A and B are shown apart, each in its own frame.
Chain A
Amino acid sequence: MFETILKSVFSAGTFNQMLRSATPVALAALGGAMTEHAGIMNIGMDGMILMGAFFGVLGSYLFGSAAAGIAMVLLMGVIVGLFFALFVVKFRSDEFIIGTALNTFALGLTSFLSRSIFGTAGTKGNPALPTVHIPGLDAIPFLGTVLNDNSLFIYLTWLLVLAAWLFVYKTPYGFWLRASGEKPETLRTAGISPEKMKWLASILCGLLCGLAGAHLSLGQLQGTFAEDMANSRGYIAFACVIFSKANPAVAYAAALMFGFFDAIGLRLQDYISSDLTNTIPYIITIVMMVYVVVRSQRRKRHSSKRLPEMQT
């Protein structure tokens, strides 16, 4: 029996499932990495994803094409990002309050509109994003099955991870973004507005979370919208951001790990309740957080170099 379990856990199906579960989380986490670098604790990603999921389907439903859905998502992503920044950056409201409220607002708005437009059952079967077949990839035995014939955004995510990583660590704008979170006055005295970088981060986050939602509704579920379909993915993405210290590449790896546990939960359903396996990623997140904090504290203690005095 043990062998069958192992076989089903480490099958191509598991890893494919892992990739699929990880992608929406990873996209949102990329967005979260932007706001995190800008020094904003963004709890509101769940709401941003939900908005993306809804408006993607709405666009697809109204205009009969997934591309129109994506266009709508991008527009809404910018609007949501601007909205978030308006409160958090301009009015200096508490980030947690705005994030929580944004989640509830998104739930209320999408459910209200969904019921007003589609009725209580939600909608499905709208024009969806294509899957991509890469010819020749199937020739590779295991990887081929895992990597081929996935929804478009799974591949797009790889590009976006690379782009986000380059943006954050290899362009001047990335330096400004990080400076705006780490020490905003530095940027201000250099003649660059840290607020502008925070606005930019919020907009990018809105966009990426919107794409995460669009992938959920238009990609993964082929044109379906159900109420509260973000299903706490925003929080998992947030955990990935925290774990990765907002490094896009590490955040993607963290998302893959979440996806892996999600996938083996489904595989092991017959042996152990999926309600229990579902808790594993969250438990891991808490353990990771404790680990990250403890490690950084220990590193600080052992550093023998002379550091500047704390300035508050």
Chain B
Amino acid sequence: MLDQLARQIEALLVATESPVTLNRICELTGCGTESAEQAILRIEAELSSGGHAIVIARLAGGYRIVTDPDLGFIVGQLFEGKRHSRLSRASLETLAVIAYRQPATRAQVEAVRGVNSDSAMRTLLERDMIKIAGRQETPGRPLLYGTTSRFLEYFGLSNLEHLPRMDEMENLLKLSAEDIERMASELSEEESDQII
């Protein structure tokens, strides 16, 4: 049997529209961060010992109750035709560059990938995985792109720090920052030539 606090949190995680952050849980139930975390663990224990088909997902910076991924093949049938197709390799690579290097310009993405990424970027924008995050204050003021919370949710990430191999990638990007900039500026020069 779950205690009162755990029951309250469980109810929140079922009814919420988007993942509830720990802070919000504390705010709504009036408990402290630590007791909220403990209560979440108790709910999880209860769910798994009872063999329930729902689990607590940690994603997009918060928690919510979802169906067990193992049962996706059953539940997925309810949404047949509505589910998005998987992202292409080109889209995933583009998304990876933007995710780790955001805000990033298209030229920077193309510099890393070594290939035109126009259509991949468009797909990602359409699918709300990336958004325009301003303009870079360099000649031509190219658009800057960043990831959305939909991106985090789609990959089950609770925040950007939970991207795979964050430290490793950050170091690598630091080391190659100059290379990327140089290649990107070469690319944007080529582009402006084309326009003329």
Q: Do these two chains interact? A: no
Residues of A within 8 A of B (CB): none
